[in-house]
Amino acid sequence: MFEDSLDQLLGDQADPVAAGWRLRELAEAANGHAPALIQELVQRTADLGTSDAAIAGGLLRVVHTTILQAGAEEVAKLDIDTIQKLETSLPAGTPNRYLLLHLLAMIRSPQALDRLVSILQVAPPEKWIEAAQVLSPLMQHDDWPVEAVYPAILDALQHPSLASPLLDLANYLYRNGRSPVHPAADRLATLNVLLGEISGRLAQFEENPRSFGDDVDTVQAKLGEAVALAVSLCDTVGMLGDETSIGKLNQTVELKHRRVQCEAAGALARLGDEAGQKRLIELAGEPSARLRAIHYCDELGIGDEIEERYRSDEAKAEAEIALYLSQPTQMGVPPTSVEVVDSKRMLWPSFNDPVDVFLVRFEYNFGERIYSNVGVTGPVTFTMSTDVADFSMADIYAIYAGWHAEHDDIFAVAAEHLNDGQIRVMNALQKHLEHLGYESISPSLLGLFLDEKAGIFTATRESKPCVVVTDGLETIDHPTGGRIRPITPADLFHLYKGRKMLRTFNP
């Protein structure tokens, strides 16, 4: 069924340049036929082993996506030996290998989990985020035997990418009563040693960030892994409640990283340490740690010692943005400052009732360089890479509303993918812009907004470069020249959509 597509993708003669559209073609053909695709791949493991690693990773993404689309029943029918055979046949350096392990976790049978544990002990995912995704089904379902995973999987604590997710899962099982004794209770001495080591590494990083690597991606990856492990260890030893952990927690609470500091203070507070309780209360004043610090203080019965201003809606909005930006997938560190600059209660895309929406200005001061922007929180927490700081407040709301909107009849088509009818629409809209005085017009996107069509172009007006969108009645342009993070055609379509929706929802 997939022979032609696989012939073009497998083996050392496959064309990496053509692989992208071949994989898209295969994904469309495999929809509804995931088991057949897996069987054909298993029959060609020799070719798979000699394939380009990037193409093999793309195939794994197609397999994983189509299986998930088929539903839980199809996942449960997967043959464990087949999955492992695919996993062991992959060429070295194949990305997305962890997706096969994720399928084993989704099956959740004792046999599948036993196989998963065996693989993780020998060949864990390279990144902790991948390892967390592998284990995530075990936090989402309670229909699997804990003894099939713990304590055996704790032998994999030696692998940096696995340590944090393994402890998080163990903590989850204990908190929710699925394990009457904490799965890592007999590993306390090891956990204290690990906490001391990871605190030392983070302290070294604070002194010299280059100790984690010489490029941004490497540093962020290692920092994210170290922070995740420190947080998980603090949570675990705090839960175990043994005073032997206090020394390492005191070492950790001195770190500058606010999330780590908050977790260490929380663990100390749970152990009855007065200094830990005091620091936890103080951390409510730090936006990136505020929400967790308040939660821990309330949990420990000392929440009334937190200043009331830190519990306001504005303070929580600032905390949401700071916490979002602190994530490894974003900036990785909290902003230097955050401030709510506007807020409104309004109807928002995907919500049936009015919601409170907050616009939060944030700033990073890097000494000689300052980076700032405005993010949104309330219905969603997000910050655009495009600089929206000098937009009007109405347009900042609008661009985020347009970005957040999801509807089958709202989408954009790139200029190079337009059909004949769509090209005619774009040509008519381009002529309209010419009449309005725009020059050097080049089509970028055709936006479809329910029954309306809008063309998004790059152009010049009065010799200044800009992006412009028009539906023939309404035209919006934004300058792009001389800007470090100028608005993109896709962003402008978000602004166009958002203006229309917010006008309709909130007349």
Per-residue pLDDT of 339-390, as tens digits, reads 999 999 999 998 999 999 999 999 998 877 889 999 999 999 999 999 999 9
Per-residue pLDDT of 77-107, as tens digits, reads 999 999 999 999 999 999 999 999 999 999 9
- Considering only residues 229 and 332, tell me which one the structure prediction assigns the higher pLDDT: 229
pLDDT at position 214: 77
**Taking 80 as the threshold, does the pLDDT of residue 1 lie above it?**
no
pLDDT at position 318: 97
**What's the DSSP call for residue 393?**
H
Q: In whole numbers, what is the pLDDT of the chain averaged over residues? A: 93
Residue spans of the domains in the chain: they are 312-383, 410-505
The DSSP H or E segment spanning 290 is helix 287-300
pLDDT at position 408: 86
pLDDT at position 213: 80
Long-range contacts from 183-186, C-beta under 8 angstroms, 24+ separation = 183/146, 183/150, 183/151, 183/154, 184/151, 184/154, 184/236, 184/240, 185/240, 186/151
pLDDT at position 482: 83
pLDDT at position 260: 93
**Taking 80 as the threshold, does the pLDDT of residue 18 lie above it?**
yes
216: confidence class by pLDDT, cuts 50, 70, 90 = confident
- Considering only residues 198 and 31, tell me which one the structure prediction assigns the higher pLDDT: 198
209: confidence class by pLDDT, cuts 50, 70, 90 = confident
Closest among 420, 384, 237, 259 to 332, alpha carbons compared: 259
**Taking 80 as the threshold, does the pLDDT of residue 328 lie above it?**
no
16: confidence class by pLDDT, cuts 50, 70, 90 = confident
pLDDT at position 105: 97
150: confidence class by pLDDT, cuts 50, 70, 90 = very high
* Contact criterion met (CB below 8 Å) for 467 and 481: no
* Contact criterion met (CB below 8 Å) for 96 and 61: yes
The DSSP H or E segment spanning 500 is helix 489-505
Residue 177: burial class (beta carbons within 10 Å; 0-12, 13-18, 19+) = exposed
Task: Please provide the size of the chain in residues.
Answer: 507
pLDDT at position 446: 96
Per-residue pLDDT of 169-205, as tens digits, reads 999 999 999 999 999 999 999 999 999 999 999 999 8
Tell me the percentage of the chain whose pLDDT exceeds 90. Answer: 79
3-state secondary structure 437-451: CCEEEEEEEEEEECC
pLDDT at position 33: 85
Sequence-ordered list of residues with C-beta below 8 angstroms from that of 162, at least 6 positions apart, any chain: 120, 124, 125, 128, 131, 156
pLDDT at position 423: 96
Sequence-ordered list of residues with C-beta below 8 angstroms from that of 503, at least 6 positions apart, any chain: none
**Cis before residue 151, ω within 30 degrees of 0?**
yes
Mean pLDDT to the nearest integer, 308-330? 93
**Taking 80 as the threshold, does the pLDDT of residue 425 lie above it?**
yes
At 503, the amino acid letter reads R
* Contact criterion met (CB below 8 Å) for 401 and 491: no
* Contact criterion met (CB below 8 Å) for 101 and 132: no
**Taking 80 as the threshold, does the pLDDT of residue 454 lie above it?**
yes
Per-residue pLDDT of 32-77, as tens digits, reads 888 888 889 989 999 999 999 999 999 999 999 999 998 888 899 9
Tell me the percentage of the chain whose pLDDT exceeds 70. Answer: 100
Strand bridging mode 410-414 / 464-470: unpaired
Strand bridging mode 464-470 / 452-461: antiparallel
pLDDT at position 110: 96
Tokens coding 93:
């350096």
The DSSP H or E segment spanning 19 is helix 16-30
Question: Burial letters for 39-75: b for 16+ Cβ neighbours within 10 Å, e otherwise?
Answer: ebbbebeebbbebbebbbbbbbebbbebbbebeeeeb
Strand bridging mode 370-377 / 439-449: unpaired
pLDDT at position 182: 97
**Taking 80 as the threshold, does the pLDDT of residue 495 lie above it?**
yes
* Contact criterion met (CB below 8 Å) for 21 and 71: no
pLDDT at position 374: 97
Phi-psi group of 438: left, alpha or beta (phi > 0 → left; psi -120 to 50 → alpha; rest → beta): beta
